[in-house]
Amino acid sequence: MTLILNNQDVKSVLTMEITMSALERAYIELTRQEAVCRPRIDIQIPTKDQEKIYQWGTMEGGSMSGYFAIRMKSDVIYEQEYQGAITQEKYCVRPGRFCGLILLTSIENGEPLALINDGYLQHMRVGADSGIGAKYMAREDAEVVGMIGSGGMARSHVESFLLARKIKKIQVYSPTKTNRDAYAREIAEKYGLNVKTVANPRDVYKGADIVAGCTDSAVPIVIGKWLEEGTHVTCVGGKPDEDTLKRIDVSLRLGNAPAPWGLPEFGVADEYLTYAAKSKENAGFEMKRADERGHGVIAEDRAVFLSEILSGRKHGRTSRKQITYSERGNIQGAQFFAVAGKVYELAKEKGLGREIPTEWLLQDIRD
């Protein structure tokens, strides 16, 4: 039987501790060449609405430990401006609905094991990456987090930072006051932390040991001139500005996807690759920043890889005064077999989800 798991099923079994542990194991498997993945690939097609584009995105990977997974997204995307901030919005079918799925299979016999909603798992795996980055790069006595954003990613990041360091205070900014106030109440109650809301983004940086950009911004959100000495920085959604890139002393990259066999020139560090259809009527449309590549290694001349730190070949932070940064790299594909595989095992143990006959997904005509 093939298992169908929704977000509530995933949430009931997946903890941040499990997620971080699964990802660290997967990254070690990648360095040993016991696992493989590729960068995210997006396909973009203009729609009849000139302000919107259809995007199909996938990332995939598998391991000798037993699982393969592909994560698929079907979105209509567009940009909008709100209170001076430009954000990238998306939906499937209608606003407020989304389609993200993970197909988990067995590498031993090819069996489709599970089809899983990706929403909750997505927030957990991204937050876990930032937690791993803080574990290896933030100052040991880091206590204060400056949080830019108040959505789902900002919530999962708190959970991972608490596992990495003894966090005592969160100071949060997001453009909408009601959202940041609700976030502050929730996080303070859930974790017993001192949570302060700020109306000016500049105030997020004051006294912060860790600064986390967790938004859907389409423009830079981490402002380098505001960073204080010794800060550790991470950014998901949006990106750091040029001043931030100049001020980074050491940047941790968790890994790189390998090149295809026999094609070393295809071993790019880009986080994603985009293929696009273009219409003559829509030729000038640049909502997705046409021709812009998914960034490579942040601060490449100052970068270290997780494998280098774990082997002792290189060090991360070597001074309290250093400004450090961490990023996943283009190994998203490895995250889904690792975390979804664990979710599948735990859900099976608890009898969660709905089963459909695996035979429905098989056929007797060779493909």
Question: If you count DSSP H runs as helices and E runs as strands, how many of each does the chain have, helices first?
Answer: 8, 20
pLDDT at 284 (0 to 100): 46
Give me the mean pLDDT over the 332-339 stretch: 96
pLDDT tens track for 194-231: 999 999 999 999 999 999 999 877 678 899 999 999 99
pLDDT at 290 (0 to 100): 47
pLDDT at 188 (0 to 100): 97
Query: Does 119 have pLDDT greater than 80?
Result: yes
Asked if 120 and 10 touch (Cβ cutoff 8 Å), the reply is yes
Give me the mean pLDDT over the 171-197 stretch: 95
pLDDT at 221 (0 to 100): 84
Asked if 244 and 227 touch (Cβ cutoff 8 Å), the reply is yes
Asked if 148 and 212 touch (Cβ cutoff 8 Å), the reply is yes
Segment among 11-15, 75-79, 82-86, 138-142 with least mean pLDDT: 82-86
Percent with pLDDT over 70 in the chain: 94
pLDDT at 172 (0 to 100): 97
Residues 173 and 193: their CA atoms lie apart, in Å, by 16
pLDDT tens track for 16-74: 999 999 999 999 999 999 999 999 999 999 999 988 999 999 999 999 999 999 999 99
Give me the mean pLDDT over the 307-316 stretch: 92
pLDDT at 214 (0 to 100): 92
Query: Does 302 have pLDDT greater than 90?
Result: yes
pLDDT at 64 (0 to 100): 97
Which residue has better confidence, 287 or 81?
81
Give the mean pLDDT of the chain: 92
pLDDT at 294 (0 to 100): 63
Residues 128 and 133: their CA atoms lie apart, in Å, by 9
Beta bridge partners of residue 23, listed in sequence order: none
Asked if 64 and 35 touch (Cβ cutoff 8 Å), the reply is yes
Shortest CA distance to 13 belongs to which of 358, 344, 357, 252? 344
Shortest CA distance to 70 belongs to which of 81, 82, 58? 58
pLDDT at 297 (0 to 100): 82
Percent with pLDDT over 90 in the chain: 83
pLDDT at 275 (0 to 100): 92
Q: How confident is the model at residue 131 (pLDDT cuts 50, 70, 90)?
A: very high
Amino acid at 357: P
* Sequence-ordered alpha helix ranges (H) in 14-118: 16-31
Query: Does 283 have pLDDT greater than 60?
Result: no
pLDDT at 293 (0 to 100): 62
pLDDT at 100 (0 to 100): 97
State the greatest distance between any 2 C-alpha atoms of the chain, in Å, as a whole number. 64
The tally of CA atoms less than 13 A away on the side-chain side of residue 31 is: 15
Domains and CATH numbers, the chain: 139-256+296-329 (3.40.50.720)
